[in-house]
Amino acid sequence: MFANYIKTTLLLGVLSAMLLCIGMLIDGTTGLTIALILAIIFNGVAYFYSDRLVLRMYKAQPLDKNRYAYVYKIMQELCDAMQLPMPKLWIIQAPMANAFATGRNPQNASVAVTSGILELLDKDELRGVLAHELAHVQNRDILISTIAAMMATAIGYLASMARYSLMFRSSSNNKRNNNVFVMLIVGILAPIAATIMQLAVSRSREYGADETGAYACHDPLALAAALEKLHDQTRQTTTQAQQAGYANIASLFIVNPLNAQTISTLFSTHPPLEKRIARLHQIHQKM
């Protein structure tokens, strides 16, 4: 898991460097200042408001303590074991079986589950899923992933500025800069590279949460069984997930709600399911 932390740090560092370099390329010191301001604004919004926006977007409601007392009991036991404060629990009325955690730190964390997941999983499997989500909270994954997403968005915005700046220079017949070709390449490739790195951060955090959650619930095989059930169920609900707009926060969920089959894992929000399950079986053998 330590390797995943190093990988995440490096990827965030590269995203930061890309953001500043594009700003510098557009207009020297002024462009660099714009890039810094954008980074501060985007990350500030992500830090304070991303959790509320996501929960409101999907009409999440507080999980009923009387009807779902067993969920609260499982969560409290996990929180005690992991020495975390109890997060707020939410439910999203949707047949798609899934779950996600959000919040900038353990003191402001929320865990949301869909009604579909409560119907699909048994208590041991649900315990594994909740342990995985608490692991995201413990490891500060939500904040890291949100910052990566916001930085990728800012890079895309600056890349667009670079392309428009290039067009403006051409249309005004000004003397071309020596870096026109570089700006063109950056304007086209930077958003793609930023997205790939953002997704790499997301995949890295999933591996870490699987491992932390497996040790926390003391049952890696239950989590593995839950992942397999959830993955199989997404094949039946992909269309519904698309209509509900789950693509916007696919990286937050424990499994990709769109059941995306990509040519390369570079463009996937989650690691391959087979690898996640294989790692959980390896953890079980070590325990």
In degrees, to the nearest 5, what angle opens at C-alpha 111 toward C-alphas 105 and 211?
A: 75
3-state secondary structure of 111: strand
What is the identity of the amino acid at 78? L
Residue 105 phi, psi dihedral angles, 5° rounding? -160, 170
Q: Choose the catalytic residue: 77, 119, 125, 133.
A: 133
3-state secondary structure of 85: coil
* CA-based nearest residue to 127, from 67, 62, 81: 81
93/223 Cα distance (integer angstroms): 23
Count of Cβ atoms closer than 10 Å to residue 168 Cβ: 10
207/279 Cα distance (integer angstroms): 9
228 in catalytic set: no
Task: Return the exposure string of 97-119: e unless at least 16 CB atoms fall within 10 Å of the residue's CB, then b.
Answer: bbbbbbbbebebbbbbbbebbbe
Per the structure block, which two tokens stand in for 91? 């439910």
List the beta bridge partners of residue 101.
111
Count of Cβ atoms closer than 10 Å to residue 245 Cβ: 10
Residues tagged active-site: 133
